[in-house]
Amino acid sequence: MKSSLLQIALGIITSIGGFLEVGSIATAAQAGASFRYGLIWAIVLGTLCLVFLIEMSGRLAAVSEHTIADAVRERFGFDFAIWPRLAELLVNYLVLGAEIGGVCLGLKVLTGIDARWWAVPVALILWFALWVGTLDIIENATSILGLLTIAFVVAAVKMHPDWIPLARGAVAPVFPPRSESGQYWFTAVSILGATISPYMFYFYSSGAVEDGWKEKDLPANRVTAILGMSFGALMSIGVLVVSAQVFNPRGIDIKRYEQIALVLTPALHQWGWPIFGISLAVCCFGAAVEISLASAYSMAQTFGWNWGEDEKPASRARFSLTYTILIFLSIIPLLLGVDPLKQTIVSMALTAIVLPLAILPFLLLLNDEKFVGTHRNGPIGNAVVTFTIFMAAIIAIVAVPLEIVGGG
């Protein structure tokens, strides 16, 4: 039996791995460089939605002993469930490639060796960690290393940001003039896509079922969702603020990851460069772990296969093969020389497109007595999910045109 403290660790890795990853670092850095504090609200809003959705994933798992993918298959039928799962698998493939690309870029920052050379070793290490490791080992190792990302917050504070405009950016932003609004809204959409990632729900609820959560774990689940996600958001805001302090006054737009690598140097001097490299590599590695597992979990659960990270691969052959194949296929774009920043931004926008289908079931499942008994959503929870679905639907419709207007 695990203590509540250990359970909260599951949330922390979900927040580090799922929150601060290649997508959020890239989008937050771009936002800070181009619009100073003007897009902090997007991180805050995305996090608020995410806290509710993660809490619901955990609650569903604890009360019904069903993961999200299980529950969707049972409640809506396999012939519905398979389509969003396949769409997500495609998006996960691209996002996983971007995360592995992020690890490689982190290693490039540290060693100077070109990112492409790192793709195969990183994929092997990732695969090996999943193949031999248990959920606990991977979780704890990544969370401890991930604490290094506090460096972004330390750097943000050391650079003496203007606290009043910063607070305004979080709650009452001033929108930019018309000429810049295409890029502004595209960046906002990318931040929301990077923040509310569907794979987190599958990972979190599967972890909760694997760890055998019960109703008594609901308070710990709530604390985890709130603390874990806020912690992640704080790091993300840290990235945005340092980027705003360093790049915005100089009028630098971010076009390449190598530019972002300079972001910690003014505050942390000679430590800035290596700390950025390690942070990027660790965060992206954590996210890659989650995406690989989440994809295998959701496929196994949709088809009824044996699954579980804590069992030997031979007894979970189809589950283990799913992440194995996905990991090794995902590095193909990287090996072919696709720009990791472009792949990141495109995959964040695609995430936004699959989002409405991924979260619509929450509204029904979390109000269904058969699944959650007396622990149904309250009016606030339902309002937030409804709002998120509408927001996600609007984003899904505008993401592609905005990408053409603002992303290019």
Q: Does 73 contact another protein by CB under 8 A?
A: yes
Binding mask 265-304 for another protein (x = CB under 8 A): --------------------------------------xx
Candidate ranges 26-34, 59-67, 268-276, 343-351; the one touching another protein (CB under 8 A): 59-67
Q: Does 321 contact another protein by CB under 8 A?
A: yes
Q: At its nearest, how many Å lie between another protein and the CB of residue 81?
A: 8
Contacts of 35 (CB under 8 A, 6+ apart): 176, 180, 184, 187, 248
Q: Does 307 contact another protein by CB under 8 A?
A: yes
CA-to-CA distance for 301 and 321, rounded, in angstroms?
A: 14
Q: At its nearest, how many Å lie between another protein and the CB of residue 180?
A: 46
Q: Which is nearer to another protein, 108 or 316 (CB)?
A: 316
Q: Does 82 contact another protein by CB under 8 A?
A: yes
Q: Does 306 contact another protein by CB under 8 A?
A: yes
Q: Does 320 contact another protein by CB under 8 A?
A: yes
Q: Does 332 contact another protein by CB under 8 A?
A: no
Q: Does 312 contact another protein by CB under 8 A?
A: yes
Candidate ranges 37-45, 193-201, 255-263, 306-314; the one touching another protein (CB under 8 A): 306-314
- Residue 226, number of CB atoms within 10 A of its CB: 16
Q: Does 212 contact another protein by CB under 8 A?
A: no
Binding site for another protein (CB under 8 A): 64-66, 70, 73-74, 77-79, 82, 131-132, 303-307, 312-315, 317-318, 320-321
